[in-house]
Structure 1
């Protein structure tokens, strides 16, 4: 699969790097030209012109090849799946401490492969680009990529992991190796943007856009972070899709095919265990992006490779908008995420145990006067101490090595998350701590 010309708006190096070597990407109304072989590392998807998805052996060889010739890339293993497959984290950029950090989480659901292919292509494009604009971008931006967030599911072509668990519902409990690895990366890297790539099945007439996007709806997301996430979706990602002729909509919202008005909500709530919401609660600008799996045309019905190329191209189009967002709004992004990470030390406001930005929390879903913290027994602390640490929650052990339990104060960066993890009224709490009202 060639590099799309639209990257010239943000990453003009891509064109210079590959000039004359590849045909244009297939767009929503175009047909794909044959893909020329080049000296660049290429994915299995590219080599087959979209006839098959990149295998995991090909992914490993591809990343090693990019690493050899790209010069800007480093990799490490951040976890191992139940079936022994590595969870890789790719880092691209200068590593400068003042750089913005953008984390791409690719194909949490193993049967949604187009995001993974887009991530692999993006890794190469960034690592091998040679122009000054891309160098400046990467001097100021660290791009982190987990190219295959669910390797066991990808190998089996299943939504869940090897144990059948939907890892995009595991960002609170952290019961899976995949969820734990992602939590550790978010804790350690503190990304400004967490961008989550998925696919969806259309419901014709009401829910069949080429691309859907959704920000964190959880009410515990800092207001400035929430605002930037909506801007990322509505001012950058979706318009980028429109510029390339793709239709777009809001994930989870059916719309009237004539008026375009919302009909009903079928997904996309404020559950804290979903990555886009967990990212917002943890003070990152989260965004879920989903591209349409179903064939759009008779040609796509007859040629599955054409359908696959369109799916990957729409992911790349959306990523183009996300890169523009980071490049153009880095100061606002840094201010929003930086202030949010400090707010928990002085915040005395409510914590919400339910509701969403389009569904106000009820009184029984609202901790209007949250406790100072939660006391955990020794047994409780032993059960959840690792998960608290992976979430970046500070706990204060009581007695030697926590033999008398622990106290978890709300006065910390992850203030809202503490209550969601330890209050018995929270839907997905890890354990029921004893609220302490005297500070």
Structure 2
């Protein structure tokens, strides 16, 4: 790393030494700062612990027959908070139905490498949530020196249940039926707003988003699929690091656990392995993996297969559920190995991405993806200097701009001007340009400042 780049990186976070990490144990609506008081323990079935042993989830206690209840999650996290090492549990928001959005923090909060795990945005996709809960416990009770060294150099943030109302109802959407993973631009949900504030305040280097999917045999039925940010407003360094995370770390870790894995949204020929068509996984900025990239984090989506993969799984739902959770846990080993071995490259990529907006150079894309060039009408080769918002517009979107980390300059009569020359430069036209698919409002472009 050159001295100039090192100076820039160190201004964001101190560089860290690279220490290999052995596999971790596989246990089988505010605009302000994210993070408030810890949740009180709940008396409920679904988690067990004693004074002398680490807590267990309801999923573990039932040997995979039952998912951990929300009350059990509260009890489990309270036990981890009390007895774990270097762990804190807080609440970053509350759902419409009054359920807490929990945040677990582990490791070194001042570390140069920060990871954010977002689990179960879709309430009917619980396996990632179970993997997150047991990972929290295993990191809070480290048993080997390598894991302790990893935690000394890493900040790990976990939102175990990003959609508690949906989990309670076993529905994809929240209590209003909104798909939270389509709300990372509009921020109309309490859940989306909490995650935006968390991302803004903590600026994680990596955002890892855990999901599940339904198979379409024989073209689309691997144990796991993953995908990086495809949105073209993601910096090339962040995009390349996300692909490296997938191809060189998560996929090998999944295969080492004897799981098949491929690219999310791409059907493939079962004989040749050649892609046939794309059915999902585009560059929509409102999806978390894409919003992560636009906001300078190395994003990765991971999806485990819900459908039984064998006759044994068809006859034993607990076997199916254990396989789903185990596949998520094995892929997480790849994430942690990546963070440990590429610290300097991760810090360089995310720091330079955050700094690039201050230069205010280059095109902004209102469409397209890394595998689909943007159309001319979706390409702002010469973006405006900024956007003017009248008083009514600014009153309507100022909270969302603040949650996104976008700075607006107040002008006369309660109006505002939003300059592009800031860290979130490439996000601003997606929020305020009339041609952007998911814009919040239509600002008036200003050609020169």
Assess same fold via TM > 0.5.
Answer: yes
More moved, 166-175 vs 70-79: 70-79
Contact 1:13–1:130 at 8 Å: present in 2 too? no
Q: Could you say which residue in structure 1 is the equivalent of 2:363?
A: 350
Following superposition, the deviation at residue 12 of structure 1 comes to 5.9
Partner of 1:76: 90
1:139 Cα shift? 1.2
Root-mean-square deviation (Å): 1.6
**Do the aligned residues in 1 keep the contact of 2:360 with 2:422 (CA within 8 Å)?**
no
User: Which string of whole-angstrom CA distances, capped at 9 and with x for unpartnered residues, describes residues 38-64 of structure 1?
Assistant: 932000000000001000110011011
**Alignment equivalent of 1:330, drawn from 343, 348, 369:** 343
Distance 1:218 1:12, change over 3 A: closer
Unaligned runs of 5+ in 2: 1-19, 29-48
TM-superposed CA distance for 1:112, in Å, is 0.1
Question: 1:151 maps to which residue?
Answer: 164
Q: Deviations over 1:116-169 (max 9, x none)?
A: 000000000001014321121111100000000000000000000000000000
Task: Name the structure 1 match of 2:14.
Answer: none
Question: Equivalent residue of 2:284, what SS?
Answer: coil
Task: Tell me the CA shift for residue 76 of structure 1.
Answer: 1.2
Equivalent of 1:405 in 415, 435, 442: 415
The 2-side partners of 1:180 and 1:123 are apart by 23
Shift of 1:13: 6.9
Equivalent in the alignment of 1:435: 445
Q: Confirm whether residue 425 of structure 1 aligns to residue 435 of structure 2.
A: yes
Q: Which one of the candidate residues 84, 88, 102 is aligned to 2:102?
A: 88
Say if 1:102 and 1:195, in contact at 8 Å, map to a contact too: yes
What is the correspondence of 1:109-148 to structure 2 with a 5 Å cutoff?
109-148=122-161
Give, in whole Å, the separation in 2 of the partners of 1:99 and 1:313.
Answer: 29
Pick one of 60, 76, 79 that aligns with 2:74. Answer: 60
For residues 77-98 of structure 1, what are the alpha-carbon distances to aligned partners after superposition, in whole Å with 9 as ceiling and x for unaligned?
11100100000111001222x4
Deviation of 1:244 after TM superposition, in Å, equals: 1.4
* Aligned equivalent of 2:15: none
Q: Give me the whole-angstrom Cα distance separating, in 2, the residues matched to 1:176 and 1:136.
A: 38
Number of corresponding residues: 410
Give the equivalent residue in structure 2 for 1:260.
Answer: 273
Secondary structure, counterpart of 2:358 in structure 1: coil
**Matched residue, 1:180:** 193
Q: Is the 8 A contact 2:360 2:420 kept in 1?
A: no
* Cα contact 1:211–1:248 (8 A) shared by 2: yes
Query: In the alignment, is the contact (CA less than 8 A) between 2:112 and 2:343 conserved in 1?
Result: no
Q: Which residue, out of 216, 219, 223, partners 2:236?
A: 223
Q: Give the alignment's TM-score, normalised by structure 2.
A: 0.89
Aligned with 1:205 (options 205, 212, 218):
218
1:304 is aligned to: 317
Contact 2:24-2:333 within 8 A present in 1 as well: no
| Alignment match, 1:10 | 21
Equivalent in the alignment of 1:4: none
Q: Give 1:379's aligned residue.
A: 392
Q: Distance in 1 between matches of 2:376 and 2:300?
A: 28
SS of the equivalent of 1:344 reads helix
Once the two structures are superposed, residues 276-307 of structure 1 have per-residue CA deviations (whole angstroms, 9 ceiling, x without a partner) of: 00000000000000000000011100000000
- Cα deviation for residue 72 of structure 1 reads 1.3
1:192 aligns with 2:201: no
Is the 1:12–1:133 Cα contact (8 Å) retained in structure 2?
no
- In 1, distance between residues paired with 2:200 and 2:22? 29
For residues 278 and 71 of structure 1, the distance between their equivalents in structure 2, rounded to whole angstroms, comes to: 32
CA distance in 1, matches of 2:270, 2:23: 37
- Which digits, 9 at most, give the CA deviation of each residue in 1:2-24, with x for residues without a partner? xxxxxxx8356749xxxxxx8xx
The Cα offsets for residues 90-109 of structure 1, whole Å up to 9 and x where unpaired, read as 1001222x431100000000
Task: Tell me if 1:317 matches 2:327.
Answer: no
Q: What's the counterpart of residue 28 of structure 1?
A: none
Output the CA distance in 2 between the equivalents of 1:12 and 1:183. 31
The answer on whether the counterparts of 2:91 and 2:101 sit within 8 Å (CA) in structure 1 is yes
- Alignment equivalent of 2:183, drawn from 162, 165, 170: 170
Out of 259, 271, 277, the residue aligned to residue 246 of structure 1 is 259
Q: In structure 2, how many angstroms separate the alpha carbons of the residues matched to 1:182 and 1:315?
A: 21
Structure 1, unpaired ranges of 5+: 1-8, 16-21, 26-35
Contact 2:78 2:89 in 1 (8 A): no
Matches within 5 A, 1:266-281: 266-281=279-294
Cα distance in 1 for residues equivalent to 2:151 and 2:370: 33
Q: Name the counterpart of 1:282.
A: 295
1:159-180 Cα distance to aligned partner (Å, 9 max, x none): 0000000000000000000000
Contact 1:221 1:280 in 2 (8 A): yes
